[in-house]
Amino acid sequence: MCLACPMRIGILGGTGPAGTALGARFASVGHSVVLGSRSRYRAMEARDKLFEKWPDRILDLEAGNNHDAADCDLIVVATPWDSAAGTVREHVDQLEGKILVSMANALVKVGNEFQPLLPPRGSVAAHVQVAVPRALVVAAFHHLPATELGHLDHPIDSDVLICSDYPEATKVVSQLVRDIPGCRPLDAGELSNAMAIEAFTAVLLQLNIRYKTRVAPRLTGIKD
């Protein structure tokens, strides 16, 4: 796969805040994006809202169902965490041999506190990998605030922690991260580390509440 070439990216469950924001951001830097959904009409509505929001930008965004999204070169799972594995399992044959990015965090709010949950296999990403064993699962984009991600006129000052059991897939996703202004990819090791990465999102959300802001991680001591 050409790291410097525009890609065709499908987003399963691409009509929620994270999916639409990530899709718009990828399209804004030259990639072709298919927003997938169980309902094609819901995907069309989400796409049209992005066109209305950014009328001066040329965004290569298509609307389709999840089957259309799964036909792309690289696929992102942007469904709620508890439906991620079930959604990809419906497209197991289409996803064989493809890079599949898991960005979901298993969290629950108890009172005023966000708490991480322990999904089957330890993380959402690992559960997704078991559901589609011949896909190249990469855990990434967990900590990017959806609101800031969707502000296409502004860079995002954030590191993106990436982990996978497939080094070549990590390289491809790292390049996608570099395409987003302000973001820096960091190779965080094998997929087993997704457990800690996903759980840390609860800490970031708690900081958002306490300090009335939207935080994103930036690690020191690593040269660009």
Handedness of CA 33, 103, 97, 64 (dihedral sign): negative
CB of 88 closer than 8 Å to CB of 12: yes
**Residue 125 in tokens:** 């990403």
Does residue 2 register a pLDDT over 80? no
Q: In Å, how far are 105, 134, 172 from 168, measured between CA atoms? A: 24, 15, 6
Residues belonging to the chain: 224
Q: In Å, how far are 71, 80, 119, 139, 215 from 91, measured between CA atoms? A: 9, 17, 21, 18, 34
Mean pLDDT of 2-28: 94
pLDDT confidence bin for 9, thresholds 50/70/90: very high
Alpha helices in 154-193 (DSSP H): 167-179
pLDDT in tens, 31-51: 999 999 999 999 999 999 999
CB of 140 closer than 8 Å to CB of 173: yes
Average pLDDT of the chain?
96
Mean pLDDT of 120-145: 96
Say which CATH architecture domain 8-211 belongs to: 3-Layer(aba) Sandwich (3.40)
pLDDT at 62: 98
pLDDT at 46: 97
- Cross-sheet strand order for the sheet of 74-77: 61-63, 32-35, 8-12, 74-77, 99-102, 136-139, 158-164, 183-187
pLDDT in tens, 38-85: 999 999 999 999 999 999 999 999 999 999 999 999 999 999 999 999
pLDDT in tens, 188-217: 999 999 999 999 999 999 999 999 998 899
Where do the domains of the chain lie? Answer: 8-211
Mean pLDDT of 148-156: 95
Mean pLDDT of 5-10: 95
pLDDT confidence bin for 224, thresholds 50/70/90: confident
CB of 142 closer than 8 Å to CB of 161: yes
pLDDT confidence bin for 4, thresholds 50/70/90: confident
**Residue 187 in tokens:** 């190779």
Round to whole Å and give the CA distance between 107 and 191.
19
End-to-end CA distance of the chain: 24
Q: What percent of the chain has pLDDT over 70?
A: 100
